A and B are shown apart, each in its own frame.
Chain A
Amino acid sequence: MDGTTLTRFIRLNHQTNGVILNSEQVIEVRGLTKKFGSLTAVNNLDLNVYRGDVFGFLGPNGAGKSTTIRMLLSLIKPTSGEMKIFGKSITKDRKEIFSKIGAIVEKPDFYLYLSAYKNLEILGKLSGADTSKKKIMSMLELVGLEKRYKSKVKTYSHGMKQRLGLAQALLHDPELIILDEPTTGLDPQGMKEIRDLIIYLSREKGKTIFLSSHILHEVELIATRMIIISKGTAQVEGTVEELLKSEKVVVTFEVDKIEEAMKTVNESKWKENFKSTSKSEINFELTKNEIALLNKYLIEKGILVSAVVPVRSLEDYFLRITEGGTK
């Protein structure tokens, strides 16, 4: 697919917010635990990823995200627990399962003394992919590296390696794509392109994406479901919308007559939602529905509202969950 088609597709799906949820489980994890000596990196973790999900895997540094991904990809052995991918055991059906998985684990590392093309050829052959020049070049084109296909990877920037990492993960047309911090090291434009690509892969190609990220905005934008882990333990799991629906967020209202606005608020039920005030701003703690109602109320009372700025919702939620460690 060329860039124009991709852009058109993304726009269309952003507009329709076309999320299709499926009940077929692609990843099923029960009681997954990994101990390194006395340190418990992952503790009794349960995970459910369904076909077509863009599954956000959130957690602060050291929460156990990479350890979990390494266990899913059999790079490290779990201390206990059960993992099934496509309903099959990783140890017994490795060949079948891994031919349907594409992954980037932490930073993408390659054979630096080989060209991008040769790296893809080798990794593609290992996955049983079509490694014809046409196929490899189309992948390099998708990630914008077609002009540098002959260059040795040691001459690549981190961002270029990250793109090449995506190309190797997609080359064999996997059903499940596991991405560990895929936008790390990319500039804002590159981050957007990768996000668009993930949305395209999920909605157009029907791929299941397991996305580990510490960039909360990223998960909020593209994930359909998510889990937040902290200290190796799952804190919450569900759809992004569900998790945020009942959450109160701090919203800043910029108004023209601050004193009059404050008087109006204090005389109403919105007094309970008031948090703080500054020169021309009043901060409230509101649910999504209450934002519109308060806005309407202020306008009816003759207060001009020039801006309504919600504080990043998921970020707030994430910090509360991971710092508090409560469900």
Chain B
Amino acid sequence: MITLIWLELQKMFRKWRTYIGFIAIGFLAIVVQVALYFTGAKMIDFQMRGIEQSFVMVGNLFNGYFIARFILMALIIHIPFLIVIVGGDLLSGEATAGTYRMLLTRPASRFQVVTAKFIAGWISVLLLLVWLMFLSLIVSLLLFGSGPLLSFQGMKLVIIAQNDILWRFLCAYLFALISMSTVISISIFFSSFVQNAIGPIAATMAVIIIFLILSAIPIDFFQTIKPYLFTNHMSQWDGFFSDPVDYGEIFHSMWYLLAHIVVIYGITTYIFIKKDILS
């Protein structure tokens, strides 16, 4: 199985499309950092305008942690668009190329092949998020220095002490990994039906966009179904920057997303094992 996963990763990272996400995140993170470097102080001043008269703020508030969270909030909603480029091609790419015939006439079972594809997909998500973490957190800390994290929770301002921040970021990235793994799993699921990558990419994005729109419509019916839509649980990573952290809600969302991954993986595997390879 390890060989299969390793071979899948080799195939994946020899396709240029795999690097689109890395290039896009690299570009966006750097652009945001440069923009904040020149104009970020004004932004902090603007946000602090209402409370400066009541509180004396000391220390470096415009620091690497603030920038990292800002980048995370700005990019995390768009990362699914980059992830599905890889996921949508994982199974359908083999059908397009006609390589199913080579791949599935080897000793490895279909169960092993599809499992290796899923694991390779999840690893690609992990690597993308590690790249995001490196650019948004590590580079920002190097450029802007450290300090307490200023976090606005609706009308509430939370200031998290410097020595209490790092674990929150790590947990947030870990949660993002689960969220994004759900997205790539859906794209692999769609990928198992078709013979080109466009369909699964479009279908996954359509599902996410439709669910986000439904969640935003202020009608009772949609608000009732909102808790059951996986997109509603994907933004729980931000819960780690609350004080106190609502672990109940975070774990509820986490299990909900993990259940989605398991069910989607199970269905895809079942379909793939039963499927006639005619390409």
Q: Which A residues contact B (CB, under 8 angstroms)? A: 70, 73-77, 94-96, 98-99, 101, 103, 105-114, 118, 122-123, 125-128, 168
Contact = CB atoms under 8 A, between A and B. Distances in A.
A75 B100 contact: yes
Kindly name the residue among A98, A108, A126, A128 whose own CB sees the greatest number of chain B CB atoms within 10 A.
Answer: A126
A108 B276 CA distance: 18
A109 B278 contact: no
A76 B108 CA distance: 16
Interface in B127-162: none
Interface stretch (B3-11, B40-48, B251-259): B3-11
> Would you call the interface of chain B mostly helix, strand, loop, or mixed?
loop
Contacts of A108: 102
B159 to A, nearest CB: 50
Kindly name the residue among A98, A109, A127 whose own CB sees the greatest number of chain B CB atoms within 10 A.
Answer: A109
Given A107-B98, A122-B7, A73 B14 contact: no
Contacts of A126: 3-4, 7, 103, 106-108
Interface of B: 3-4, 7, 10-11, 14-15, 97-109, 274, 276-278
B101 A106 contact: yes
A168 B102 contact: yes
Contacts of A114: 11, 14
A109 B274 CA distance: 23
A118 B106 CA distance: 17
B99 A110 contact: yes
Contacts of B276: 70, 75-77
B105 A113 contact: no
Contact of B277 (A76, A99, A118): A76
A197 B277 CA distance: 29
Contacts of A99: 107
Contacts of A75: 100-101, 104-105, 276-277
Nearest to B279: A109
Nearest to B113: A126
